[in-house]
Chain A
Amino acid sequence: MLTILALASVILLGIVPQQSEAIVIYTGWERHALVGSDIRLSCSFFSWRWTSDDVTFSWSYRPDGARDAISIFHYTGGAPYVDNKGPFRDRLEFVGNPGRRDGSILLKNLDYGDNGTFTCDAKNPPDIVGRASSVRLLVFEKVPIQAGVITGSIIGAVLGLLLLIVVIYYLMRFLVARRVFNLSVSKHGKKGKGKEGSQQRQGPTLSIGDPSKLKAAASEKKKQESRKDKK
């Protein structure tokens, strides 16, 4: 019964979306580039159908402030057609792979006049219903710092420092406590294992600046005991 139900749901889910879902096109939102550099504008799509042989990609460009868009690239019938009359003649190259649903183009030697909106439209017959996606190109003389980079780094640095201080504090306390424990063990002179171990440890501690360290450790131990009593 359960298997029949599972099979039925899989079949239904498989059939229904193919007729109702549209093609979804992905480009970036905004791209920043330096004057004179090259930039790759990526365009990809998602479709429930297999990639057909008649898949088409087309890019159009609308300059900042203009009202109309001109078509600058078209891929159809297995062949790309680049701009040979418009603003991007000799500067446009197709670097995508339509078989893998990638319709990216490469713009070379950017200039300030290339600021604008690039729209990619892809069609995968019979899946042709979809909304074109746009990416905005901004050409700078010097690429500005991305929003939030400095903010994030300052916050991260301060919190990291805080964490480091806390860790070091607890480490110091742990080390000191361990040292005091060793000394107290050696003082009371536990038999058997304790004695041997303490003798081994006592060796190096006794050799280095001996009495002052013992006094410091003893006072620290007293402090800890008093703190414990206080609590």
Chain B
Amino acid sequence: MLLILLAVLILHLIILVLLFVSTIANAWTVGGTKNTDLWYSCLTTNTGYHCSSASNEDWIQAVQALMVLSVLFCLFSLVFFMCQLFTLVKGGRFFFTAVFQILASLFVMCGAIIYTVMRPDGEEDAAFGFAYILAWPSSPQQPPLTAMCE
């Protein structure tokens, strides 16, 4: 029992870290000298490393919002997990933890899908960067986590 709880906690933390890195790191699309993420698009030239704010388009702001929300909900779920760990009696259910975690995974899924669909094309050797890839594992991890909690 204790082992399962510990595993759940560690998994929670791993997901949280993945989400943070994915939201913050500047590598959703990389290609040659240019790398972009949700917040900036940076270019490496002879004179240095120049960054400009990401475009103001609607979809990227939606992706930003969804990623931030998923991080927040994952945090809430972790907080609830800690709370319920100490206040719940045997046979009780980690209801709120699971709900928040499911919501967080939904948001990450939506955000990643929107980004995939709306990504600006036409850039030479543009490939998805590691931050984008990190976003995906965090969402499938969450249903097993929920199942373990219940």
Binding site for B on A (CB under 8 A): 144-155, 158-159, 230-231
Contacts and interface: CB of A to CB of B under 8 A. Distances in A.
Contact of A231 (B66, B68, B69, B89): B89
B68 A155 contact: yes
B61 interface: yes
Contacts of A150: 58, 61-62, 65
A150 B65 CA distance: 8
B84 interface: no
A155 B68 CA distance: 8
A154 to B, nearest CB: 4
Contact of B64 (A151, A158, A159): A151
B58 A155 contact: no
Contacts of A145: 56-58, 61
17 contacts: A145-B56, A145-B61, A146-B56, A147-B56, A147-B61, A149-B61, A150-B62, A151-B61, A151-B62, A151-B64, A152-B65, A154-B61, A154-B65, A154-B66, A155-B68, A155-B69, A231-B89
Interface in B14-67: 53-54, 56-58, 61-62, 64-66
A149, A153, A158 — most chain B CB neighbours (10 Å): A158
A35 to B, nearest CB: 18
Contacts of A154: 61-62, 65-66, 69
Contacts of B64: 148, 151
B89 A230 contact: yes
Count chain A CB atoms within 10 A of each CB in B54, B66, B69, B89 and give the residue with the most.
B69
Most buried by A among B62, B65, B92: B65
Nearest to B87: A231
Interface in B63-117: 64-66, 68-69, 72, 89, 91-92
Contact of A151 (B53, B65, B91): B65
A152 B69 CA distance: 10
A152 B89 CA distance: 39
B69 A148 contact: no
A148 B60 CA distance: 10
Given A145-B56, A150-B65, 20 more contacts: A144-B56, A145-B57, A146-B56, A147-B54, A147-B61, A148-B64, A149-B61, A150-B61, A150-B62, A151-B62, A151-B64, A151-B65, A153-B65, A154-B61, A154-B62, A154-B65, A154-B69, A155-B69, A155-B72, A159-B72
A231 to B, nearest CB: 6
Contacts of B66: 154
A155 B89 contact: no
A155 B65 contact: yes
Contacts of B57: 145
B85 to A, nearest CB: 15
Contacts of B89: 230-231
Contacts of A231: 89
A145 B58 CA distance: 8
B62 A147 contact: no
Nearest to A156: B65
A164 to B, nearest CB: 15
A155 B57 CA distance: 17
Contacts of A149: 61
